[in-house]
Structure 1
Amino acid sequence: MNTALIVIDVQESFRRQSRWDRISNPGIAADVARLVEHARAVGDPVLWVLHAEPGSGGAFDPESGAVRLLDGLEPAAGEPVLVKRVHNAFTTTDLEQQLERRGIRSVRLAGIRTEQCVETTARLASDLGYRVEVVLDATATHPLALHDGSGELSADEVIARTAAALAGRFATITTIAEVLGAAVPVEPAGAPGAA
């Protein structure tokens, strides 16, 4: 079964924000490029997703020129670039139709922000019946303020929380090394696709 690689929001908009210096994985473009190269080599489709907030005047406004992939990433001919306006990659795009046309029932996710657009997409994909993998070290995020203003979770804590919330419920958590080595990730009991 082919697995579609979905690259979510690895875009210049984030690099232009003042918080970029606190991003957990400033080398995410190179990490994603390795996954893209692998997907293309094994014949898996690659789909690109960007986030836009038209009229916002910020880094996610298409008028800013920042709603584009980070340097080092380039879609190949035939690889769709979808533009979303909400957290998940499905609701405001034709991602599901793109996957259906290709006969895809398994997706592999990478991107920015681990706990926001990547996690939300993973949850929705699982609910839609896809087998979902999240390549955790090919995601990135920032520290996250606690709801009561008493401090923050570090980016590493946010990523660990996301992995714990998704694993065995909505997705299998993988690594770049597992994907590139074609190692089969261990699925916890009760995970989507587990026997």
Structure 2
Amino acid sequence: MSRSALLIMDLQNGILAGYSEAQKRGLIERANTLIADARDKQVPIIFVAVRQRPGYLGVGDNNKAFSGLKKMGVLIEGSETAAFHPDLAVTDEDVVVVKRRFGAASTTDLASVLNAVDADHLVMAGVSTSGVVLSTVRWAADLDYRLTVLADACLDHDEEVHRVLTEKVFPVQADVIDSGTWLARNS
């Protein structure tokens, strides 16, 4: 029998700052509904956050994306930009995996956490679709996890990229559904 784990990825102030209030509110509401349902059903929830060390130790100048963050001075451990959105239903008792790069498994102990909760099915929500979600889908598919991407619980700055990933790329390796369908299937 399959054991699912819900991954809520990168719903942080500094990442969500680039989205409209309506987009943020909708995403956080959907995430909180998923979180409440998972808690009720005792499905493990793993929150993922990208956070950099002070001075961006470990971020080389050749890393185009992360050296750009370095110039902006965001997502430093302990900073407001690295914190989860204040309306997100994360608690001090929740498992938080901190990463230094895009993928939820890159530079983290996610594999150990998934092993500890005996998960073989990952249900994913996060920002951005072309960042953490894409990287995590690729990693998890290579390790033979069963995957579900909740398309309406993911955001990307480029709506066309989000559409192509959720309609054409992800379905090769994952079930792609909306959060309402996921909740109805698991009631």
Shared fold by TM > 0.5? yes
Q: Partner residue of 1:48?
A: 47
Could you list the runs of 5+ residues in structure 1 that have no partner in the other structure? 144-154, 185-195
Identity %: 25
Q: In 2, Cα distance between the equivalents of 1:63 and 1:183?
A: 36
4+ runs of 1 displaced by more than 4 Å? Answer: none
**1:79-112 deviation per Cα after TM superposition (whole angstroms, max 9, x unaligned):** 2111101111012111010010111100000010
Following TM superposition, by how much is the alpha carbon of 1:141 offset from its aligned partner in structure 2, in angstroms? 1.2
1:1-195 map, 5 Å: 1-16=2-17, 19-21=18-20, 25-27=23-25, 28-54=27-53, 55=55, 56=70, 58-62=73-77, 64-76=79-91, 78-143=93-158, 155=159, 157-163=160-166, 164-167=168-171, 169-182=172-185
CA contact (8 A) 1:24 1:142 kept: no
Greater helix proportion: 2
Could you list the runs of 5+ residues in structure 2 that have no partner in the other structure? 56-69
Q: In 2, Cα distance between the equivalents of 1:78 and 1:64?
A: 20
Q: CA RMSD in A?
A: 2.0
**1:42-72 deviation per Cα after TM superposition (whole angstroms, max 9, x unaligned):** 1100000001233235221225322111122
Which structure exhibits the higher relative contact order, with contacts defined as CA atoms closer than 8 Å and separated by 6 or more residues?
2
CA contact (8 A) 1:115 1:158 kept: yes
TM-score scaled by length of structure 2? 0.82
Q: In 2, Cα distance between the equivalents of 1:67 and 1:125?
A: 25
**1:130-155 deviation per Cα after TM superposition (whole angstroms, max 9, x unaligned):** 10100000011102xxxxxxxxxxx1
Number of aligned residue pairs: give it. 168
